Amino acid sequence: MQGDPEVIEFLNEQLTGELTAINQYFLHAKMQEHLGWTKLAEQTRRESFDEMKHAETLTDRILLLDGLPNYQRLFHVRVGQTVTEMFQADRQVEVEAIDRLRRGIEVMRSKGDITSANIFEDILDDEEQHIDYLDTQLGLIEKLGEALYIAQQIEQPDS
């Protein structure tokens, strides 16, 4: 099925964002695990896998529209050194994704590609939930301080 080139371009741009997020979240999860923040690492890894599911959905849609998914490109991967920096970096990825998704939805609807717009809306819902999670965590860090927040992210071995 031949897709509109502008729609395919938006799908590929979002795919680039998802591939970037996968890498950034996975690296943050591994860093968190290395630092002993096992609970946080598990959550961050789950976020990486969610982004992988988005990438898969976008890839399938691009192929259905006779486009070529671009796996060659990434946006800038931001690496935080502290838990606050990690959350801020991850939040920035989500803010950029939300802007891109909203613009894409408008274009897709104007071109009559409701299915692609619906895919973007589903991803948008996930990204908004992720921003809410990140904002909550950043708020907790602000209230508790980083040290106390991190203390809550450590899993104690069973005795």
- Residues at the binding site for heme b are 52
Q: Are 105 and 127 in contact (CB under 8 A)?
A: no
In angstroms, rounded to a whole number, what is the distance separating the alpha carbons of residues 8 and 2?
10
Name the binding residues for Fe cation: 18, 50-51, 54, 94, 127, 130
Name the binding residues: 18, 50-52, 54, 94, 127, 130
Residue 16 tokens, joined: 């680039």
Can you count the helices (H) and strands (E) in the chain?
5, 0
In angstroms, rounded to a whole number, what is the distance separating the alpha carbons of residues 94 and 116?
19
CA atoms within 13 A on the CB side of 46: 9
In angstroms, rounded to a whole number, what is the distance separating the alpha carbons of residues 6 and 87?
32
